[in-house]
A and B are shown apart, each in its own frame.
Chain A
Amino acid sequence: MENFDMSLIDWSRGQFALTAFYHWLFVPLTLGLSFIVAFMETIYVRTGNPEWKRITKFWMILFGINFAIGVATGLILEFEFGTNWSNYSWFVGDIFGAPLAVEGIMAFFLESTFVAVMFFGWNKVSKRFHLTSTWLVALGANLSALWILVANAWMQNPVGTEFNFDIARNEMTSFWAVLFSPTAISKFLHTITSGFVLASIFVMGISSWYLLKRRHILFAKRSMVVAGTFGILSSVFLVFSGDESAREMARVQPMKFAAMEGLYKGTTNAPLIAIGFMEKPTPPGLERDFAFKIEIPNMLSYMAYLDVNKFVPGIEDLLWGNEKQNIRSYEDKVKKGKKAIQALALYKRSAKISDSLKFAGDTARADKHKNTANEALAIFKTNFKDPDGSYNFGYGYYAGHGRSIKELIPDVPTAFYSFHLMVILGVHFGIVFLLGMIFIYKRKIIKKRWYLWITFWTIPLAYIATMLGWLLAEMGRQPWVIQDLMPTLSAVSQLDSSSVKLTFWIFAGLFTALLLADFFILRRQILIGPKEGGK
């Protein structure tokens, strides 16, 4: 097997992470704010009250600034699959390309066409047409999220596919299986509702700031009512879809699930750690102890399987296997995977030789090579995946050549802390929404300065929470690009790592500059405030 340029892989991963990170700084606000302005404009059209038009227009300005930079960073992500992950693009392009194309055809045009009407159409089209456009922008933005998340979910749980050994790639066998994969559904719901929550916090936070400054008071209160209502409803869905996601993860990505709880040795009646701090690992073992933890008994088993008596496998059970619980070891998968990879190469080579011999008229030797090819194919098929459908193929890349089975463990503290912090922050957001609605209802909000300050400073926390979610989703599944089928090291484009380093820094510089511009423009617009505020 070949050697891999780890520096190239790390820089390529770094570049993708960088672009994804910057992209996700802007997208969740687009997802949620598009709906919030649609609610506001609907109220305007229903009531005819020009104050609501001003409210709508103010948030729309912020929407536009944020939207532009989301578009810019999104383009790179799409093309980076080709430029930096070309082996991946071929290996699964037959499945992965489709949602990207559907996203373009069904969602992006909807978004971009009606965004133009939303911004420039106020005095050009009828009220109804304008309102419809605003709703279509919200629909388009969230539809595009659907398709890209379907694509992402497929990487986490590659369903509806079959390997075509003749051309060495995976092919789609069911579009519906890909689209309606449970992983895709929970991922979509959890991600968009996280965007809704972030946007609601954004609107609540800025409105709080106006109230603190005693500016645009009516405007701020009205905005808070819309955002608070939307936030509470979204939070409920966020919790349900998050719970569903965890169950899906336990089923299809048990290693990620174990890492996110820092669970090394599996157990029945597994407790869930509510709060915990990890110690540095003490060699030679893998395990990290907890310096401190508060546990909820049985909760982890319940969360994963809705059954407190079920066994939740730990990292070590997965690595070395657990016969009693009928868990096959990664060691075994690595062995089989290696056999599959070697057999595939032999099959391809022999089939090619056989074809050219046949072409030259040497049938006897052609048949001999054909036989070798068929034997190799049989070996490939038995080792590629197990009868229960779980793949061994990708594990084969971790046999020999300085590769270690321990590379199959994601970074545990990253997964653990990102998960737990995300959940804690999620609870905090729920409380912020609830208190806000209560204070507005009791007409006390303007006096609750502590609440207003907390809400304002919750804005950055909302961004952190949504980033942590992706950190868990993507770092937690390392080293897989496609779960159990393809690790990052075989997916990467063969480039000089210096080229990737250079593009990494170009993007890092450019995106940071644009982010700063975005931040200061937004800040200025907020300072200027809505025109003729609602005092």
Chain B
Amino acid sequence: MFENFSHSVLQHYWWIIVSLLAAILVFLMFVQGGQTFVYSLGKTKTQRKMVVNALGRKWEFTFTTLVTFGGAFFASFPLFYATSFGGAYWVWLLILFAFIIQAVAYEFRSKPNNIFGSGTYEAFLFINGLLGTVLIGTAVATFFTGSDFRLDDMNRVTWGNSWRGLELAFSFGRYETYINLSLGLAVFFLARSLGLMYFLNSIDDETLDKRIRKKLWYSALLFLVLFLFFLVNILVMKGYAVDPETRIVFLEQYKYLNNLLNMPIVLIIFLTGVVAVLFGLIVSLTKASTKGIWSAGFGTILTVFALLLVAGFNNTAFYPSYSNLQSSLTIANASSSKYTLTAMSYVSLVVPFVIAYIWYAWKAINKKKIDEEEMSDEESHAY
């Protein structure tokens, strides 16, 4: 069935899949957000243990989604993989660094004889929560604000700045830096808000409950302010458009706003997402509800999904070069061949099945909330 689709349709299909994976990844970064609260929420050893264990049974999903996102992006848009990873070297390596230390932290933290002490592994969790979210958010912002690179005839990348991508977060003379950082920090505070709502949903402890709801106010408000700043900026700025005939990239005023208006379905997805996030936050803040995570999580997925469609669809360069416009990547020039996309599209049919068993296993494990009793039970595995 996929053989009958045009190359362009398959490129759009794969952009949808990659965007969806990225959107799910942002939602699952509630784990990272939650990790930044290990100390401030857990005042006693048992409370800390409950917080860590609530996250400990989910961190693998985030990690796996990140790996799968990388693999899917590689398979479908290899030129992005080559250009961005090989170009913005330091950004990606810092992100990787932040995730290596996370992978061992849960398993090693409470084990005897772990050399560095549980405090070190808790610090690993914090670093992962902070760097992982801020850097990924900042990197995604460059899908709108552009980077400084050039591709030669053989599509080999030359990065313009010796800071290798870090300049996108630190060259404060450039206005776009603030847009990049605003998204990075917005993702950080969103992840924290989601993390807090996840705790409400999965831990059964009264003192923690109160503390969580108080902290949620700060995270939620900071997230909203930062996200609004990012959103307004990208909607009013010039965006990187592509002429569908000549494939020439040019700057177009209000490009991203136009994209939203030209693609009403995307606009609806976006608005639904925003409303769902707000609803989740409000319910958690004003009522005793513990279900906020579902609405806010679902909303996060929709919002991020819509934003990435805005970055890639409607003749837009999704990975623009501001110093060399014609080197910008579009879903047409960065993609795999029609054959590979077709083959991979068949593989993608497995995804609903994967989601189904994840859902089933998640439900089975979360049937009962984490409480003090479970943490003191020798028989159940705990971090």
- Chain A residues packing against B (C-beta within 8 Å): 64-65, 67-69, 71-76, 78-79, 81-87, 89-90, 93-98, 100-106, 108-117, 119-125, 129, 133, 164, 167-169, 171-173, 175, 345, 348-349, 352, 359, 493-496, 499, 503, 506, 510, 513-514, 516-518, 520-521, 523-525, 528
Contact = CB atoms under 8 A, between A and B. Distances in A.
Nearest to B355: A109
B60 A116 contact: yes
8 tightest Cβ-Cβ pairs between the two chains A and B? A86-B86, A93-B78, A82-B85, A104-B68, A97-B75, A72-B103, A97-B74, A101-B75
A472 B90 CA distance: 32
Contacts of B361: 113-114, 116-117, 133
A97 B154 contact: no
Interface string B68-86: 1111101110110111111
B93 interface: yes
Contact of A86 (B87, B340, B344, B358): B87
Given A68-B108, A525-B111, A83 B97 contact: no
Contact of B381 (A75, A106, A119, A359): A119
A101 B66 CA distance: 11
A146 to B, nearest CB: 14
20 contacts: A69-B103, A69-B107, A75-B96, A76-B96, A78-B71, A81-B74, A86-B82, A87-B86, A98-B336, A101-B68, A105-B350, A117-B361, A119-B57, A121-B364, A122-B379, A171-B336, A495-B89, A506-B97, A518-B108, A524-B111
Contact of B104 (A68, A85, A119): A68
A494 B72 contact: no
A65 B111 contact: yes
A64 B109 CA distance: 13
A109 B64 contact: yes
Contacts of B71: 78, 97, 100-105
B81 A97 contact: yes
Interface stretch (B37-45, B113-121, B207-215, B299-307): B113-121
B232 interface: no
Contact of A112 (B61, B348, B350): B61
Chain B facing A: main interface SS: helix
B192 interface: no
A120 B381 contact: yes
Contacts of A104: 64, 67-72
A168 B79 CA distance: 12
A79 B92 contact: yes
A35 B66 CA distance: 26
B1 interface: no
Contacts of A172: 336-337, 339-340, 343
A89 B72 CA distance: 13
A120 B340 contact: no
Interface stretch (B135-143, B155-163, B282-290): B155-163
B93 A93 contact: no
A119 B235 CA distance: 47
Nearest to B79: A90
Nearest to B153: A348
B86 A129 contact: no
Given A72-B100, A117-B361, A122-B380, A112 B60 contact: yes
Choose among A95, A96, A167, A517 the residue with the greatest number of B CB atoms under 10 Å from its CB: A517
Contacts of B246: 359
B371 to A, nearest CB: 13
Q: Of residues B75, B155, B344, B348, which shows the largest number of chain A Cβ atoms within 10 Å of its Cβ? A: B75
A78 B67 contact: yes
Interface in B337-383: 337, 339-340, 343-344, 347-348, 350-351, 354, 357-358, 361, 364-365, 367-368, 377, 379-381
Interface of B: 57-58, 60-61, 63-64, 66-72, 74-76, 78-79, 81-87, 89-90, 92-93, 96-97, 99-104, 106-108, 111-116, 153-158, 162, 164, 246, 336-337, 339-340, 343-344, 347-348, 350-351, 354, 357-358, 361, 364-365, 367-368, 377, 379-381
Nearest to A514: B104
A173 B340 CA distance: 8
Nearest to A178: B343
Nearest to B360: A113
Contact of B116 (A72, A95, A513): A513
Contacts of B83: 86, 90
B107 A64 contact: yes
B347 A101 contact: yes
A483 B41 CA distance: 55
Contacts of A90: 78-79, 81-83, 155-156
A516 B115 contact: yes
Given A82-B81, A89-B81, A105-B68, A100 B74 contact: yes
Contact of A83 (B69, B92, B100, B336): B92
Contacts of A78: 67, 70-71, 74
Contact of B64 (A101, A112, A175): A112
A95 B337 CA distance: 9
Nearest to B102: A72
A112 B57 CA distance: 10
B340 A71 contact: no
Contacts of B116: 513, 517
Contact of B106 (A68, A133, A495): A68
Contact of B74 (A89, A119, A518): A89
A98 B354 contact: no
Contacts of A105: 68, 71-72, 347-348, 350-351, 354
A89 B114 contact: no
A83 B368 CA distance: 43
Contacts of A89: 74, 78, 81-82, 85-86
Contacts of B81: 81-82, 86, 89-90, 93, 97
Given A108-B64, A114-B361, A169-B78, 20 more contacts: A72-B104, A75-B103, A76-B96, A76-B100, A86-B82, A86-B83, A104-B68, A108-B68, A111-B64, A113-B60, A164-B337, A168-B153, A493-B86, A493-B157, A494-B156, A494-B157, A514-B100, A517-B104, A521-B114, A528-B112
A121 B82 CA distance: 41
> B82, B114, B153: which has the most chain A beta carbons within 10 Å?
B82
A121 B361 CA distance: 9
A493 B155 CA distance: 12
Nearest to B121: A517
A41 to B, nearest CB: 14
